[in-house]
Amino acid sequence: MNDNQLSCGQLRGAAQSLSVNLPNYITLTRIFSIPVLIWILSSNYFSDSNGNRELLASAVFIAASITDAIDGYLARKWGQITTMGMLLDPVADKLLIAAAFITLVQFNPRIVPAWMAVIIIGREFLVSGLRSIAASEGFTIEASDLGKMKMVVQIVSVVAAIVDHHWTRLPWYFLWLPVRPIALASIWVMVVLSLVSAVDYFVAFWTKINRHAEKRRKRRSFVLSRRRKRNDVPAV
C-alpha cells in the first residue's frame, strides 16, 4: 500500500513537472515566433518600398523578447516552475538570438557581418555548455548584471539592424532619430558585452567548479584517512 502510494505520488509529481501551464505556453509562443520572423525577413511576399517588412519583423522580435520576461515572472509568481519550463526557456532564448542574427547576416550585412554573428551566437552556446556542466556537478551559476544588460542591448541592436534596412531616420514621432549610428553603435556594444559576459561567466564557472572539486578532494582524503586509521587498529 505504501509502495503504491509512493509510486502514485512520484507519477503525480512527474506529471506536474512536465505539464504545460500558461508560462510554458508563453515560452512556446516565443519558439513559434522564430520561423515567423525568419519568413518575414527572407520572404518575397513583402515589398521593399513601404517598410512594412521591417516594421512587422521588429514588432515580432520585440514581442518575442518581452515574453522572455513575462513567462519567468509568471512562473515565479504563481509557483509554476516546471521541468518543461526550465528546459524550454533557455532553448527558446538561444534559438531566437541565433535565428535573428543569422537572418540579419543575409538581410543587412552592412550592420551585422558574419563574424559578429559568430561571436554573439558562440557566446550563447558557451554559456549553455557551462550551465550544463555546472548542473551535472550539482551547482548553478547566477545570471550577472552584464547578462541582463546584454538582453536590452540585444533588442535594440536587432531592431535597429532591421529598421536600418529601409530607413535612414526614424519618423518624426520617434524624434527623427538617425538609425544607422544607433544600429552600428548597438551592434558593437552587443559584441563587446558578449565577449565580456562570456569571460565573466567562465570565471564564475571556473571559481565554483574549482571550489567544488577542492571540497570533493578534501572529503575523499578524509574518508581515506578514516579507513587507514580503522585498518591500523590492532585486532584484539
Predicted confidence (pLDDT) per residue in 87-114, tens digit: 788 888 889 999 999 999 999 999 999 9
Note whether residue 10 is domain-resident.
no
Note whether residue 6 is domain-resident.
no
pLDDT given at position 10: 47
Tally of domains within the chain: 1
pLDDT given at position 12: 47
Note whether residue 9 is domain-resident.
no
pLDDT given at position 99: 94
Note whether residue 13 is domain-resident.
no
pLDDT given at position 145: 73
Note whether residue 222 is domain-resident.
yes
Note whether residue 3 is domain-resident.
no
Q: Domain of 103: which CATH number?
A: 1.20.120.1760
Note whether residue 188 is domain-resident.
yes
Please identify every stretch of the chain with a pLDDT value under 50, giving residue numbers as ranges. Answer: 1-3, 5-6, 8-18, 236
Burial of 92 (0-12, 13-18, 19+ CB in 10 A): buried
- Structural domain that includes position 147: 20-230
Cell matching residue 53: 517588412
pLDDT given at position 221: 65
| Tens-place pLDDT, residues 35-62 | 999 999 988 887 777 788 898 999 999 9
Phi, psi of 142 (to 5 degrees): -75, 150
DSSP string over 58-123: HHHHHHHHHHHHHHHHHHHHTT---HHHHHHHHHHHHHHHHHHHHHHHHH-TTTS-HHHHHHHHHH
Note whether residue 161 is domain-resident.
yes
